């Protein structure tokens, strides 16, 4: 190989190639996502329900509160953050879930020996469109346990989000369990 001031073209080529390889390796992208794109689905559906009226019932430790309001896209992002944070399309989770397809249901369930907070994502379809999404997130150690169940149901004629529920139970060592449940029913745009 031809030398330029002590360096060969081969070494220069390998150094540049190695640099770009490291950059590409750190980017979390896939040609095709290995699991259902829950984050992308929620982000898309939130755009469709901007300025929609919602009747929201929240129950915290048995105390119920009912509110009717209009949610902006930002409000929906906050309300459905548990779903977007349940994204399992991460390099570290590629072989952590068992995927099953049964007629109109797609399920990603965490393998028993795998580590991950998202225990399952279950997607049901009606006429090849998503009709509901259910998730379970759980964390358990000696001092703390937390379980969140979330469900979103679509209106099969409009294909928009119709209603949803999110329930979280948390238990800290030596304390009573805390329970919170949110249910929402969407109405027309204002």
Looking at the fold, whether 109 and 150 belong to one and the same domain comes out as yes
Helices (H), 49-188: 73-79, 81-84
Where is pLDDT greater, at 150 or 30? 150
CA distance 48 to 149: 24
> Could you read off the pLDDT of 80-125 as tens digits, one per residue?
999 999 999 999 998 999 999 998 999 999 999 999 999 999 999 9
142 and 91 inside one domain: yes
**What's residue 190's pLDDT?**
66
Specify whether 13 is located in the same domain as 94. no
> Are 118 and 166 found together in one domain?
yes
Residues 140 and 58 in one domain: yes
Q: How far apart are CA 111 and CA 85, in angstroms?
A: 19
What tens digit of pLDDT does each residue of 5-24 get? 444 444 333 333 343 333 33
> What is the phi/psi pair of residue 46, to 5°?
-65, -40
Residue 85 and residue 168 in one domain: yes
- Mark whether 127 and 160 lie in a shared domain: yes
Enclosing domain of residue 135: 33-189
Q: What is d(CA 115, CA 138) in angstroms, rounded to the nearest whole number?
A: 11
Instruction: State the pLDDT at residue 31.
Output: 67
pLDDT tens by residue, 70-86: 999 999 999 999 999 99
pLDDT at position 13:
38
Q: For 27-44, what is the mean pLDDT?
A: 82
Same domain, 62 and 137: yes
Work out whether the CA dihedral 120, 90, 182, 129 comes out positive or negative: negative
User: What is the per-residue pLDDT for 32?
Assistant: 82
Q: Are residues 61 and 89 in the same domain?
A: yes
Is pLDDT above 90 for 49?
Answer: yes
DSSP string, 85-120: TT---SGGGTTSEEEEEETTEEEEEE-TT---SEEE
Residues 5 and 95 grouped into a single domain: no
Query: How many structural domains compose the chain?
Result: 2
Phi then psi dihedrals of residue 126, to 5 deg: -135, 120
What's the pTM?
A: 0.80
Q: Note whether 45 and 94 are same-domain residues.
A: yes
Q: In this structure, are 19 and 75 located in the same domain?
A: no
Quick one: pLDDT band at residue 62, thresholds 50, 70, 90? confident
Rounded Cα–Cα distance for residues 55 and 190 (Å): 13
- For Cα atoms 18, 21, 26, give the angle at the middle one, nearest 5 degrees: 130
């Amino acid at each position: 190989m031809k030398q330029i001031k002590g360096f060969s073209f081969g070494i220069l080529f390998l150094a540049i190639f190695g640099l770009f390889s490291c950059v590409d390796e750190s980017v979390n992208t896939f040609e095709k996502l290995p699991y259902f794109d829950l984050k992308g689905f929620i982000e898309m559906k939130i755009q469709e329900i901007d300025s929609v009226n919602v009747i929201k019932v929240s129950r915290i430790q048995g105390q119920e509160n009912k509110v009717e309001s209009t949610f902006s896209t930002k409000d929906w992002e906050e309300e459905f953050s548990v779903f977007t944070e349940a994204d399992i399309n991460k390099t570290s989770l590629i072989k952590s879930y068992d995927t099953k397809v049964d007629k109109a249901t797609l399920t990603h369930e965490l393998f028993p020996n795998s580590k991950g907070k998202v225990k399952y994502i279950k997607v049901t379809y009606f006429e090849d469109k998503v009709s509901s999404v259910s998730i379970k997130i759980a964390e358990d150690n000696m001092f703390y346990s937390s379980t969140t169940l979330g469900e979103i149901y679509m209106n099969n004629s409009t294909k928009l989000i119709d209603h949803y529920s999110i329930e979280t139970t948390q238990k800290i060592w030596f304390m009573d369990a805390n329970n919170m449940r949110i249910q929402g029913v969407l109405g027309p745009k204002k």
